[in-house]
Amino acid sequence: MKQFHVYILASRSGRLYVGVTSDLLRRVYEHRRHLVPGHTQRYRITRLVYYEDAGPDAYAAINREKQIKGWRRQKKVALIVAANPSWEDLAADWYG
């Protein structure tokens, strides 16, 4: 059964991107290699700073993504800081 994840990426300059995926390892890799055209590629948003398990329900995961996307930046930052106070790249050692 698929598990979905909601994640937040950050650039070195502090830009944020919120996404949802059923394959976090692959999706973060795509962002890191700039294989995903658009916002993350344009602003070099590649550092995984937050993720959560959204369970097997795709609709619930998408709703959670939309909820976070609707928040003001300050609330998103608070979510990240609560789980990852130093904003370290959580995927730094995933790819060797």
Angle ∠(33,16,90) on CA atoms, nearest 5:
60
The reported pTM is: 0.96
So what's the pLDDT on residue 36?
A: 84
Q: Which CATH architecture has domain 4-83?
A: 3-Layer(aba) Sandwich (3.40)
CB-CB contact of 30 with 36 (8 Å): yes
61, 47, 56, 59: which is closest to 91 by C-alpha?
A: 47
Residue with tokens 């991107």: 17
Q: Residue length, the chain?
A: 96
Tell the burial category of 15 from Cβ atoms under 10 Å away from its Cβ (0-12, 13-18, 19+).
middle
pLDDT in tens, the chain (96 residues): 899 999 999 999 999 999 999 999 999 999 999 998 999 999 999 999 999 999 999 999 999 999 999 999 999 999 999 999 999 999 999 997
Strand partners, 19: 7
